Structure 1
Amino acid sequence: MPNHTLYAMLFGKIYQCYLDKAERKGRTREDVDQIICWLTGYDQAGLRSQIEQKNDLETFFVQAPAIHPNSSLVKGVVCGIRVEDVNDPLMRKIRILDKLIDELAKGKAMNKILR
């Protein structure tokens, strides 16, 4: 499957990309962390642990305490793909997180991002 490469990417590397994107647009690490914790149910310590353990994206999402029930409200296009049309559950979670970070970088208010 072509998605295996993405699933095997280290979450810490993806996290750094999210952070760089947000900070270029004047947003903070706290904003990025808030979004990730909202979506996945990780607390700050759990998020840091995932990065320190060098877990891949698949492990990061499999070990997530609780995907937020309102994550299904995230709609739109990210990387040319409509989030709500993604059938693979893991890929959908990845795309939802991508979309949320995109919204943050575009200046959307946090209360709108977190639905």
Structure 2
Amino acid sequence: MNHDERIAQMTFASVYPHYIAKVEKKGRTKEELHQVIEWLTSYDEKKLQELIEEKASFEKFFQNATLNPNARLITGVICGYRIEEITNPLTQQVRYLDKLVDELAKGRKMEKILRVG
């Protein structure tokens, strides 16, 4: 199984607790995390909970998401990959999410994270 397939099969539920731990360790909140996820995917808290309970794969998670049109403004390096150069659309979307969580944990201002203006 290659890198892209592994990412597609991973469940959002398996990664979500790590996202929470990462941001809370740096003094950010679960609410801020949800705000960031909702900005990217249009999923509200209720929908997120459903996806977690059904152990949706990242493939399914992003299949049903309405990606923010400004998501393409998310650039930079995450896990050693330059986001804007990732050719697999799903892998790129997962990395968008990783990058947003990273920025939140690093204390960036919310307007910057949400690519406002």
TM range (shorter): over 0.9
Gaps of 5+ in 2: none
Q: Give the Å deviation of 1:90.
A: 0.5
Higher relative contact order (Cα pairs below 8 Å, separated by 6+ residues): 2
Query: Where does 1:83-102 land on structure 2 (aligned, <5 Å)?
Result: 83-102=83-102
Question: After the TM superposition, which parts of structure 1 deviate over 3 Å for at least 4 consecutive aligned residues?
Answer: none
Q: Give the Å deviation of 1:29.
A: 0.5
1:41 corresponding residue in structure 2: 42
How many residues align? The count is 114
1:30 corresponding residue in structure 2: 31
Q: What is the TM-score of this pair, normalised by structure 1?
A: 0.95
Query: Where does 1:73-92 land on structure 2 (aligned, <5 Å)?
Result: 73-92=73-92
Q: What is the TM-score of this pair, normalised by structure 2?
A: 0.93
CA RMSD for the aligned pairs? 0.9
Query: Where does 1:47-86 land on structure 2 (aligned, <5 Å)?
Result: 47-64=48-65, 66-86=66-86
Deviations 1:6-29 (A, max 9, x none): 211111111111111111111111
Gaps of 5+ in 1: none
